[in-house]
Structure 1
Amino acid sequence: MSRGRAADEPGFRTATGASKATVSRALTAFEDRDWVDRTGSRAALTPLGDVVAEAVASLTATLGTAADLRGVVDHLPLDDLGFDLGRLSGATVVTPRGRIRWRRSDTPTASSSAPRRYGSSRTPSRRA
């Protein structure tokens, strides 16, 4: 949902898999905080809700970067980098220790002697 564009409760239920009662409770809580305006089953972000949504999106991106770098950060010269680790978001790091196969839990496992690849996607690219 973006500011000024309304979405309906059935759409939220479909997108989240949450029950009608859960979506209704969440929207009521957001309305109480002045994050959404509701008209019937439709809801739209308020200007304050837009600020909150942007902050949540930023936090989500930061958490994704942290998860991507988890297996790499111990091997970096952090004191010598000269830039924020967040700039590595979406980067691919190749090491000589073996290929990484990402599991559903985002935990890398070595599977061969090919270069390890760390990156923003959970599916590694395969190189010959």
Structure 2
Amino acid sequence: LGIWIMKGFFDNISWDMERSALIDGASRFQVWWKILMPNIKPGIAALSIFAFISGWNAYLIPFTFTVGRAGKTAVLSVYLRNFMSESVMTEWNMVAAVGLFQLIPVLIFFFFTQEALLNIYGGGAKGGA
């Protein structure tokens, strides 16, 4: 998914921008740092948001590593699953509390990256061939 997202951002950058910077005397690193990076910054922000949310909401790997352990350490997603079993009545107040604690870091992360996320379609050369 990350390669697919970033490919779209790199495809949005015109070769003419790179060539003109090289003709003006910029090195390859300067072209990368001053031309390409500002144009793909929204893509990096979007990719970091998707990676954070995916990692935060991961379920299978923590569940695999915590089942049968002596300390019974569990992440929030595994803890949430324990409340929703078929054998006992579901404690919806605990499900709501765990869900809220799972949502708070995502909201904080979004609060600090919302400008980059909302400008995800900005940058690069528009129109043309």
Q: TM-score, normalised by structure 2?
A: 0.28
Mark the structure with the bigger radius of gyration.
2
Q: Which has the higher strand share?
A: 1
Q: Which has the higher helix share?
A: 2
Higher relative contact order (CA 8 A, sep 6+): 2
Q: TM-score, normalised by structure 1?
A: 0.29
